Amino acid sequence: MASKGTRYTEEQIIRILKEVASGTKVAAVCRQYGVSEQTVYRWRSKYDGLETSELQRLRQLEAENSRLKKIVAQQALDIDALKELLAKKW
């Protein structure tokens, strides 16, 4: 699943939005999939224009970004520890 609390994967959401874009009324799509119109509009603001391949690339980039942020945080901790160690008088 896409994230906690969602019933639809991001791929399914993109397919649903394509139905709306192809001319199916939002209300009909909402009834068919059991979601509110507000949900469809929220999905549209987040996923509109994305293709499945772009979504996969976005996920890869987000995972890499998260990994790099962890590395930077660890380096900052290491630098602080070294500064503290060097600041002590021997």
Instruction: Tell me the domain boundaries of the chain.
Output: 1-50, 51-90
Q: Which of 36, 40, 45 is closest to 12 using CA atoms?
A: 40
Confidence grade of residue 62 (pLDDT, cut at 50, 70, 90): very high
User: What confidence score (pLDDT) does residue 10 get?
Assistant: 87
Task: Name the CATH topology of 1-50.
Answer: Arc Repressor Mutant, subunit A (1.10.10)
* Residue 11 clears pLDDT 60, i.e. is over it: yes
Enter the tokens of residue 6: 């969602």
What pLDDT is recorded for position 1? 44
Average pLDDT over residues 64-73: 98
* Amino acid (one-letter) located at 69: K
pTM over 0.75: no
Residue with tokens 């980039």: 61
Between CA 24 and CA 65 the distance in angstroms is 37
